[in-house]
Amino acid sequence: MAIVAPSLLASNFLRLEEECKMINESEADWLHLDVMDGRFVPNISFGLPVIEKIRKATTKVCDVHLMIVEPEKFAEEFKRAGADRLTVHAEVCMHLHRNIQQIKALDMKAGVALNPHTAIASIADILADVDTILIMSVNPGFGAQKFIPHSLKKIEELRRFLDDQKLTALIEVDGGVTVENAQQLVNAGVDVLVAGNTVFKSTDPKATIASLKRVNR
């Protein structure tokens, strides 16, 4: 079964406690938390104070995705706020290996994210050290975007590389994930489905999450 990680960015921020309760009662595995700084991406979302409150309201794994510059300055604070998994972008980390080791030393699972234009080859030397590779299948910064079709080839390439090297990192995909394309994504090699509007704008979010959970490779 796929790991399902609803993205809180698409939730109703006036009802965060209720949204967390719904996720707690659902079959979701993780809660995906997008942190944006208005510098690396052209948007600002939420930060440490909100994550601290969410951590107290959810029983799910907190999967924090940092779309920020200089993430090393804040890793310890995100750990204290309650992050279980911390993902940084390859594009902003001049010393990516150091960033990954920092996250692991703080006893969090470490992930690396790639924008749509960034090649898998650029992180080949770090794949043995990470727990998650997050493939962005839209340009980061905003929700409700359409899936970029070329992302499928990228996922397939990454799956082959991981399998050939017998590496155990999870492949996560974020952007334009729907009930309709989830099976195709998992067939291509995805382990973790991040779904925002698909879940939170659904008339029955729990049922939508259950549908995503039923997708098998």
3-21 pLDDT, tens digit each: 999 999 999 999 999 999 9
Q: Yes or no: say if 205 and 2 are a contact pair by the CB < 8 Å rule.
A: no
Q: What is the pLDDT of residue 217?
A: 72
- The reply to whether 34 belongs to the active site is yes
Paired tokens of 152 = 């499928």
Q: What is the pLDDT of residue 172?
A: 98
- The reply to whether 125 belongs to the active site is no
Q: Yes or no: say if 62 and 31 are a contact pair by the CB < 8 Å rule.
A: yes
125-178 pLDDT, tens digit each: 999 999 999 999 988 766 666 888 899 999 999 999 999 999 999 999 999 999
The answer to whether the pTM exceeds 0.75 is yes
Q: What are phi and psi of 156, to 5 degrees?
A: -65, -40
> Which is the catalytic residue, given 29, 34, 37, 191?
34
Distance CA 193, CA 171 (A): 9
- Reported as a pLDDT band with limits 50, 70 and 90, residue 216 is confident
> Which is the catalytic residue, given 29, 63, 174, 191?
174
79-93 pLDDT, tens digit each: 999 999 999 999 999
Domains defined along the chain, listed by start? 3-213 (3.20.20.70)
Q: What is the pLDDT of residue 147?
A: 85
Q: CA quadruple 204, 84, 69, 112: dihedral positive or negative? A: negative
Q: What is the pLDDT of residue 183?
A: 97
Tally Cβ neighbours within 10 Å of residue 82.
17
28-81 pLDDT, tens digit each: 999 999 999 999 988 899 999 999 999 999 999 999 999 999 999 999 999 999
- Reported as a pLDDT band with limits 50, 70 and 90, residue 192 is very high
Report whether pLDDT(1) > 90: no
